[in-house]
Amino acid sequence: MTHLLTAHGFDVVAAVGSGPELAAALREHRPDVSVVDVRMPPTNTDEGLQVALAARREMPGLPILVLSQHVEQLYARELLADGTGAVGYLLKDRVFNAEQFVDAVRRVAAGGTAMDPEVIAKLVAGNANDPLAALTPREREVLELMAEGCSNAAIAARLHFSGGAVGKHTANLFTKLGIAASDDTNRRVLAVLAYLGAA
């Protein structure tokens, strides 16, 4: 992991092997972004996630990308729950696609989100309350890509829209989901939370 990130221009300030070491490193370095394995010693259960969540409570908005072997819906919801963004949740297999993985790290570092498409699919499948009933099919497509962490430019490229069209769809879905502009929260993250039924 260190070699991969260094090869793509990142300065790695620490590489640790346990939850307590991770907590200490986050406090000491306050890194621009952290890549954290859900399972870490000493418990090898969800030590990494719990340290990440505690660090974000202590340092709001601290950018963290969590890697997991399996989709755990609760983990993704917990990461998104504060509505501030700068979080990601990817399956470990995504690391093998270096370009996509590095793109996800950069998006989280920039304050965005990077959610694994498989995580999103399982969360939506398990959501009995559909908050999207008022959205058009195009608005739903835009929101799905937003949930993956795509920027408006990336959404425009994926859907073959103009940037203006994406902006219009985004504004419409914010209105339909009842998400007003605020200096305290990230509207895109709140939209994703509504999409995942976690709001």
Is residue 126's pLDDT more than 70? no
Q: How confident is the model at residue 168 (pLDDT cuts 50, 70, 90)?
A: very high
Taking residues 125-136, report their average pLDDT. 70
Name the pairing type of β-strands 87-91 and 113-115: parallel
Q: Which residue has the higher pLDDT, 124 or 162?
A: 162
Q: How confident is the model at residue 199 (pLDDT cuts 50, 70, 90)?
A: very low
Cis peptide bond N-terminal to 20, omega within 30: no
> How many of the other CB atoms lie within 10 Å of CB of 3?
8
Least confident residue range of 13-22, 122-131, 183-192: 122-131
Q: Which residue has the higher pLDDT, 120 or 105?
A: 105
Model confidence, pTM: 0.70
Please write the tens of the pLDDT for every residue from 175-193: 888 888 887 778 888 888 8
105 Cβ contact partners less than 8 Å away, ≥ 6 residues apart: 5, 10, 33, 35, 65, 88, 114
Is residue 118's pLDDT more than 90? no
pLDDT at residue number 190: 84
